[in-house]
Amino acid sequence: MTTATRAARVQLRLNDDWFEICERARLTPGRGIAALLPDGRQAALFLDREGRAYAIDNRDPFTGAAVLSRGLLGSRGGRPFVASPLLKQRFDLETGRCLDDDEVAVTVHPVRIA
């Protein structure tokens, strides 16, 4: 799988496989990037200040725009969230649940740095 000399990469779990997104160095702590998945969907990847990675669906369910990767990362009570850049609803990065509307959630993707 990985070699010792290779730079750390961010991988996302898709259909029982780890799908490689990019080098970890491409991610800025506290911000996200968007990744195009093989099935045409988009994922939003984030790195927190401790270097932990998170991935959720990039589509903002409130507006339908693929923008969650451009939101601001925050934490509340030790739990990380992203605030949509459009109308500012917050999504828990570990559960995908919207913190401002109980009935809304986004898909969470398992992610690892390898």
Q: Does 90 bind another protein (CB under 8 A)?
A: yes
DSSP bridge partners of 71: none
Q: Which stretch binds another protein (CB under 8 A): 9-17, 67-75, 101-109?
A: 67-75
Options 65, 94, 107, 110; binder of another protein; rule CB under 8 A: 65
Q: Which stretch binds another protein (CB under 8 A): 6-14, 59-67, 106-114?
A: 59-67
- Residue 23 CA to residue 58 CA, distance in Å, equals 19
Side-chain half-sphere CA neighbours of 16 within 13 A: 0
Q: Does 53 bind another protein (CB under 8 A)?
A: no
In terms of Cα–Cα distance, which of 52, 41, 34 is closest to 15? 41
Q: Does 88 bind another protein (CB under 8 A)?
A: yes
Q: Does 67 bind another protein (CB under 8 A)?
A: yes
Distances from the Cα of 27 to the Cαs of 33, 39, 44, in angstroms?
Answer: 7, 23, 11
- Residue 54 CA to residue 32 CA, distance in Å, equals 9
Query: Which residues make up the interface to another protein (CB under 8 A)?
Result: 26, 28-31, 33-34, 48-49, 63, 65-67, 70-78, 80, 83, 85-86, 88, 90
